[in-house]
Amino acid sequence: MKVPFVDLQAQYKTIKPRVDQAISEVLAAAAFIGGDAVADFEAEFAGLTGTGYAVGCANGTDALEIALEALGVGPGDEVLVPAYTWVSTASAVVRVGAMPVFVDVHADYYTLDPDLLSQAVTASTKAIIPVHFYGLPADMPAIMALAKKYKLKVIEDCAQAHGAMIGRQPVATFGDLATFSFYPGKNLGAYGDGGAIVTNDRALADKCRVIARLGQQGKHNHVQVGRNSRLDALQAAVLRAKLPMLEEWTARRRWVARQYAMQFADLKIKTQRIPADFKHVYHLYVVQVDKRDGLRKYLQEKGIQTQIHYPKPLNQLGVFADKRPQKVADAMADRLLSLPMYPEMTREQVDYVAAMVKKFIVYGG
Ligand SMILES: *Cc1c(COP(=O)(O)O)cnc(C)c1O
């Protein structure tokens, strides 16, 4: 049996009429930039995230840069970022001229460890970017309490966590601003690049829009020097067509995760722990094992695709100034393996992956 890591073709088959229709409407109107598709998507996405305003932009990395700029983060400022995340969370900080300071992740949750935050705060600290890593919300109540105490801004990096919640409160509604990516493989993915910034603060939303639209407040009224970062109409139309499916897709991801968890319960496999009341949306299902590379090779031979998120923590990448060792992140990086996870996985596929993992862990293959 073959099990890909994700299967975007399988997903397209389930929504083809809707998506094709949405795309042909954009083609017929020949409104490729801006227009109704983008405005409608922004309104619907704000609604879905429980925020007042959404500003579409070109990708999730731009979203982070624009959010940082809107908050006035720049040269001389430090921003606290988890040591273990996708590179964009930290590179965005460098791109606005500030310095990312890495804070280790929690050994069980893999998200920013709130207990380590206060010791990382200096007179130059301006903001925190918690990441809802793999789809699990970071400990926002603790992070917001600390942000309040030290008067820090908070940008939630929600690129992996569309629809995740703590209790009844969705991610993206805790911080000052939140950013999303619609990279095709994300839980809500475009058919190309896309991103968004969301917030409940109207003034901040306006700032983001001005920055992303070449500094314009309305056409040709340039109030500052901005940049060009747009969500295009084709992507917005695809995203609108997919939006109604997100809840069902998330439920399927959670079902796949439950099957894995049940089958791995008695094995020497560590999985991400989930605090009570936190809703994980399983962008990724990641196991921690002793012989990671051996397991990866074995699964590959059995037709099962896996990936590593990520091979190195940011402090080890060599491109950031903060190269201090990070106890948890450094120890975890060689042990993590992401198993196939997507809504269209069949029971047979999930059972097959679980059986092969089990076989390797118990019998060494
Ligand atoms: C995917 C991702 C981004 C960047 O999104 P792009 O759309 O690829 O630029 C940022 N942060 C995290 C945590 C991500 O997973």
Three state DSSP letters for 77-138: CEEEEECCCCCHHHHHHHHCCCEEEEECECCCCCCECHHHCHHHCCCCEEEECCECHHHCCC
Question: What is the position in ligand 1's atom list of the atom closest to the CA of 64?
Answer: 10
**Confidence band for 121, pLDDT divided at 50, 70 and 90:** very high
pLDDT at 88 over 90: yes
Q: How far is the CA of 85 from the centre of ligand 1 (A)?
A: 9
Which CATH number is correct for 245-363, 3.90.1150.10, 3.40.50.150, 2.60.120.10, 3.20.80.10? 3.90.1150.10
Q: How far is the CA of 202 from the centre of ligand 1 (A)?
A: 24
Q: Phi and psi for 79 in degrees, rounded to 5?
A: -130, 130
**Confidence band for 1, pLDDT divided at 50, 70 and 90:** very high
The mean pLDDT of 269-296, rounded to a whole number, is 97
The mean pLDDT of 262-272, rounded to a whole number, is 94
The mean pLDDT of 56-78, rounded to a whole number, is 98
CATH 3.40.640.10 intervals, the chain: 8-104+111-244
Q: Is 160 in the pocket of ligand 1 (CB under 6 A)?
A: yes
The mean pLDDT of 72-94, rounded to a whole number, is 98
Structure-derived torsion over alpha carbons of residues 261, 112, 321, 157, reported in degrees to the nearest 10: 90
Q: How far is the CA of 233 from the centre of ligand 1 (A)?
A: 20
pLDDT of residue 364: 86
pTM tops 0.95: yes
**Confidence band for 188, pLDDT divided at 50, 70 and 90:** very high
Q: How far is the CA of 60 from the centre of ligand 1 (A)?
A: 5
Q: Is 159 in the pocket of ligand 1 (CB under 6 A)?
A: yes
What's the chain's average pLDDT? 97
**Ligand 1, atom 2, residue with closest C-alpha:** 159
Mutation pick for ligand 1 pocket among 91, 181, 283 (CB with most ligand atoms within 8 Å): 181
Closest CA to 178 of 40, 61, 64, 59: 64
Share of the chain above pLDDT 70, in %: 100
pLDDT of residue 198: 98
Question: What is the position in ligand 1's atom list of the atom closest to the CA of 88?
Answer: 10
Q: How confident is the model over 318-362, as pLDDT tens digits? A: 999 999 999 999 999 999 999 999 999 999 999 999 999 999 999
Q: Is 63 in the pocket of ligand 1 (CB under 6 A)?
A: no
The mean pLDDT of 154-176, rounded to a whole number, is 98
The mean pLDDT of 196-220, rounded to a whole number, is 97
pLDDT of residue 11: 97
CATH 3.90.1150.10 intervals, the chain: 245-363
Bridge partners of 156, per DSSP, are 178
Q: Is 85 in the pocket of ligand 1 (CB under 6 A)?
A: yes
The mean pLDDT of 236-243, rounded to a whole number, is 98
Which architecture does CATH list for 8-104+111-244? 3-Layer(aba) Sandwich (3.40)
Question: What is the position in ligand 1's atom list of the atom closest to the CA of 182?
Answer: 7
pLDDT at 106 over 90: yes
Q: Is 60 in the pocket of ligand 1 (CB under 6 A)?
A: yes
pLDDT at 365 over 80: no
pLDDT of residue 215: 96
**Confidence band for 247, pLDDT divided at 50, 70 and 90:** very high
Mutation pick for ligand 1 pocket among 81, 86, 239, 310 (CB with most ligand atoms within 8 Å): 86
pLDDT of residue 168: 96
The sign of the CA dihedral 355, 356, 360, 361 is negative
